[in-house]
Structure 1
C-alpha cells in the first residue's frame, strides 16, 4: 500500500470511528450529568451552553491513536508523537474530570498542569535532539535550504512549540466548532507536508487527527451536542506540535496554526495591556473570538470567518515548503 493510500485509509477510518462512538459517549455523559460549566463574565448567549456534555475529545484522541498504530508504519517518532498527544490528553482529562465529574470548579492546579505539560514537551524535545545530533537542520519557511541550528535553540523551539500549541488550541476552543474545524484544516495541511518530507508515519497521524476532528465537528457544530473539553484541545494541540517537531518543520507551525497563534497572542496582549494601563482593556474580551462576539458578530459568523483565516494560514504554510509549489 502506498503512503498516500495509507493516509487516505487512515483518515477514513479515523473519521468513521469518531462518527460511530461519539454519539454513545454523548448519551453516557448526559445520563451521568457530566456537563460544561460556562464563564459568567462571557457573552450572555453562552449561558445556554451550560450542562452540554464535555470531554468528547477522548474519542477523538483514541480514534486517531488507534488508526495511526493500525495503518502504520509504527516507528519511534510515531510512538513518541502519540505519547505526547495522549499525555497532554490525559492532563486535560484529569482537569475536565475534576471540574465536571467531581464538581471542582478549578480543575487541576496551574502548577500541576504546568509540570505535566513541561514533562511531555521536554520529553519529545530531547527525543528529537538525540535523533538529529548536535547540529540539527530545520526547514525554514520560504527558504530552499534548511538551516542549521544549535542544540540549545532546537530544544527551546521544540519545547515552546509543544506547550504553546497545546494551550493555544485550548484557548481557541470557546465557540461551537471553532477548534475542531481549525484543527482539521491544520492537520490536513500537515499531512500533505509530511508526505512531501518523506515521513509517512507522521503523515498518517496528522491525517487521522484531522479526520477525527472533522468527525467530532459533526456533533460539535452549532448548536453543539458535545464539547471536546481540555481532553481534546490540549491533546490536539500537542499532536500538531509533535508532528512538526519530529519532522524538523517546527517553524511551519505558526503559519499552519496562524489562528491558534492569534488567539494566544490576544490573551497575552490583553493581560499585558491591562497591567500596563492599570485596568484598561485592549479587547472587549479575550480570547479574540469573544472580542468579535461582543462587537456584535453572531457565533456562526465568527467561526466561519476564523475558519477562513485558518485556511489562509494553512495554504501559506503549504506554499512555504520548497518543492511543493515552487
Structure 2
C-alpha cells in the first residue's frame, strides 16, 4: 500500500465518520438516548447527564462502509472483524439494556463474561483454522524469541481477548480519553501488518484510525456524544484481534500500557478495599478519576495519558524492529 492510498483511506474514513456523526447524534438526542451518570462517580460528571451515548455506532458504521469500499476480505480480516463486532455487540446490548432500564449498568458481570467467553471460543476455532500449526506460537519482546504455548494457548488467547476488551472499556471514562490513547497504537500495528504483508489488515487499521479521529471531533471535551460500551468494546475487540493476528500479544502490555494501568488500578482498589478493612489506594478508580479528584481537569489528564501512550508505542517500535 503506497502513501497516497494510505492518505486517501484515512481521509475518507475521517470524512465518513464526521458525516455520520452529523446525522446520528441528532437522532440519538431526539430519541433521548442519553448517558446515565453513576451516582458514585465524580460530582463534576453529573453535568454530563443526558449527553447522547452509543456513539460507538459511528465508529462501527464507518468501519463497515470503509471495508466495503476496500473489498479486500480474507480469513485474517474476518478473524479481526469477528473480534471487533462480536465484542462490540456485547457493548451494544449492555448500552441498550441500560438505556431501557434507565440505569448506568445494563448487562451484569456474569452475563458479559459469558458472552465474551463464547466469542473467545469462536475466535480460537478460527485462529486454529487460519494457522493450524503455528497459532500457538507467540513472539517474545526483548529477545525476539518464538515461544510455543501448546495447550496453554487455549487459556492464553481467551484471557487476552477478555482482559483487553474489559481494560479498554474501563479506559473510556473521560471525554476523548479512549480515542486519544488508542490513536498512537494503530500506526504501530499498521507498520507491523505491512511488514507481514497483511494488506486487508492494513486497510482495516487505516479505516479504524480514520473512524476514531472523526469521532474525536464530537467526543473531545466538551463531548457532544459518548461512545458508550458500544464503542469501547468495539475498539477493545479490534485491538485484541489485531494483536493476535499480528502476533504482538506480548507487546500489548507495552503499547497498551494505559489500558493496563486503568484495569490494574481497579484491581488494586478492589483488593485493597476487601483485604484492608475498606481502605482505598486511590481516591477513585479507574485511575483517571483519581486524578480528577486530585484537581486536574479532563483535558490535562487526557493529554498526559496520550503522551504516555505515544511513548509506550515508540518503545514497542524499538523493541519489535
Which bracket does the TM-score occupy, shorter chain normalised?
over 0.9
Question: Contact 1:65–1:82 (CA<8 Å) still a contact in 2?
Answer: no
Shift of 1:6: 4.2
Q: What's the offset of the Cα at 1:95? A: 0.8
Structure 1: how far apart are the matches of 2:71 and 2:24?
27
Q: Cα distance, 1:21 vs. partner?
A: 0.5
Query: Which residue of structure 2 lines up, in the alignment, with residue 183 of structure 1?
Result: 182
1:138 corresponds to: 138
> 1:83 and 1:31 mapped to 2: Cα distance?
31
What's 1:294 paired with?
293
CA distance in 2, matches of 1:45, 1:31: 25
Residues 30 and 290 (structure 1 numbering): CA distance in 2 closer, same or farther, change over 3 Å?
A: same
* 1:138–1:250 CA contact under 8 A, matched in 2: yes
Q: What corresponds to 2:72 in structure 1?
A: 73
The answer as to whether partners of 2:165 and 2:233 remain within 8 angstroms in 1 is: yes
Mind listing any 5+ residue stretches in structure 1 that lack a counterpart? none
Deviation at 1:203, TM superposition (A): 1.9
Q: Corresponding residue for 1:226? A: 225
The change in CA–CA distance for 1:187 and 1:212 in structure 2 (over 3 A counts) is same
Secondary structure at the aligned position of 2:147 is classed as: strand
Q: What are the residue-to-residue correspondences of 1:114-193 with 2, within 5 Å?
A: 114-135=113-134, 136-144=136-144, 146-193=145-192
Write the distance in 2 (CA, Å) between the matches of 1:3 and 1:102. Answer: 49
- Which residue pairs with 1:255 in the alignment? 254
Per the alignment, residue 265 of structure 2 pairs with 266
How many angstroms apart in 1 are the aligned matches of 2:199 and 2:142?
23
In structure 1, what is the Cα distance between the partners aligned to 2:318 and 2:7? 22
Give me the TM-score of the superposition, normalised by structure 1: 0.93
Q: Secondary structure at the match of 2:51?
A: coil
Three-state SS of the structure 2 residue aligned to 1:35 is: coil
Alignment of 1:1-326 (within 5 A): 2=1, 5-135=4-134, 136-144=136-144, 146-322=145-321
Q: After alignment, is 289-298 or 60-69 more displaced?
A: 60-69
Shift of 1:196: 2.0
The superposition leaves residues 152-211 of structure 1 with CA deviations (integer Å, 9 ceiling, x where unpaired) of 233333212211111111101000000011122212221122112222221221222122
Work out whether residues 15 and 214 of structure 2, in 8 Å CA contact, stay in contact via their aligned partners in 1.
Answer: yes
Q: Which moved more, 1:185-194 or 1:79-88?
A: 185-194
Number of aligned residue pairs: give it: 320
Q: Which runs of 5+ in 2 are unaligned?
A: none
By how many angstroms is 1:278 displaced? 1.8
Indicate the RMSD between aligned Cα atoms, in angstroms: 1.7
1:165–1:260 Cα contact (<8 Å) kept: yes
Q: Residues 52 and 227 of structure 1 are in contact (CA less than 8 Å); yes or no, is this contact kept in structure 2?
A: yes
Asked whether the equivalents of residues 85 and 235 of structure 1 are also in contact (C-alpha less than 8 Å), the reply is yes
Of 61-70 and 16-25, the range deviating more from structure 2: 61-70
TM-score by length of 2: 0.94
The verdict on how the C-alpha distance between 1:138 and 1:5 changes in structure 2, with shifts beyond 3 A counting, is farther
Q: Secondary structure at the match of 1:22?
A: helix
State the distance in 1 between where 2:259 and 2:147 align: 27
